[in-house]
Structure 1
Amino acid sequence: MFEIDYRLCLRCQLGWVEQPYTEPLYQRRGLASAALAALRSEHPGLSWHTLGGHEPDARPFWAATGQGVRGSYQQGNLCPHVTAG
């Protein structure tokens, strides 16, 4: 139903998410927001970012989902401790 790629650096207290996908039947039902909240709950205290830019139609989602979240899911580069891939 929902998938997302993510990377963590506990040393830097940073997390990155990218390419969230919700099956069309389940879109706009809060599943993605709930999944991201669960991910944050599993890794408390991290600042959360995205690796890519936000597509125009996804900007409202990221703005709403990022409210009150450390890092606000703003675009951020990987730290030196984490490799891309």
Structure 2
Amino acid sequence: MESDLVPLTAALRHQLRYLAARWQLNDDHVDGDVFARYTVARSPVGSREITLLTRRPRARWDPGHDEVGHLAYRICDLCQLGAIIKIRTAEEWKRRGYATWMLDRSFRAAPGFTWTTTRQMSDARAFWDFVIGRTPGQYRPKKPCRHIQASFRRPGCTHWRAARPV
């Protein structure tokens, strides 16, 4: 009979990572034009996001900020795997290092883990070749682990059992 309990070390690692992420959840300085905003799900394999926004407001009457880039990723403490789900940069902000900055920040969330990507767009091949050259063995296109796949099927679940495959 297979146990439904999550290994204690993985559970503690996740809780510590979650608390550390919540602690530094304030906006992060990227450069003079851009800042980063983080989103961390409560679920151990829930969605995590980094959104880069411009410092200048859209207009005087609209205090919102324009999006520069966005990274969605997930981390599985059980398999020690990080998966890049989606990364994009606005056309006018490309080739300034923002996508690489977001990948570096996500990598810091789980150092020592193996990182993969979901499908890679053909027009982004040069970018991924550059990233793979910087971090050999990381960011290869591959299916995420079964825990992350299960979290896609049950996106509303935010507890440990959501990580268990159906």
Structure-2 change in CA distance of 1:14 and 1:66 (3 Å) = same
Which structure has the highest helix share of the two?
2
Aligned to 2:141: 75
Normalising by the residue count of structure 1, what TM-score does the alignment of the two structures yield?
A: 0.84
CA RMSD, aligned part only? Answer: 1.6
Q: Which runs of 4+ in 1 moved over 4 A?
A: none
Distance in 1 (CA, whole Å) between partners of 2:144 and 2:96 is 30
Return the letter of the residue paired with 2:146.
Answer: P
Aligned to 1:24: 91
Distance in 1 (CA, whole Å) between partners of 2:71 and 2:137 is 17
- Given the alignment, which residue of 110, 121, 126 partners 1:55? 121
Consecutive unaligned residues of structure 2, counting only runs of 5 or more, are: 1-67, 153-166
Consecutive unaligned residues of structure 1, counting only runs of 5 or more, are: none
Preserved contact between residue 13 and residue 46 of structure 1 (Cα < 8 Å):
yes
Say how many residue pairs are matched: 84
The structure whose Rg is larger is 2
Normalising by the residue count of structure 2, what TM-score does the alignment of the two structures yield?
A: 0.46
Aligned to 2:78: 11
Aligned to 1:63, what secondary structure does the other structure show? helix
Amino-acid identity (%): 31
**Are 2:106 and 1:45 aligned?**
no
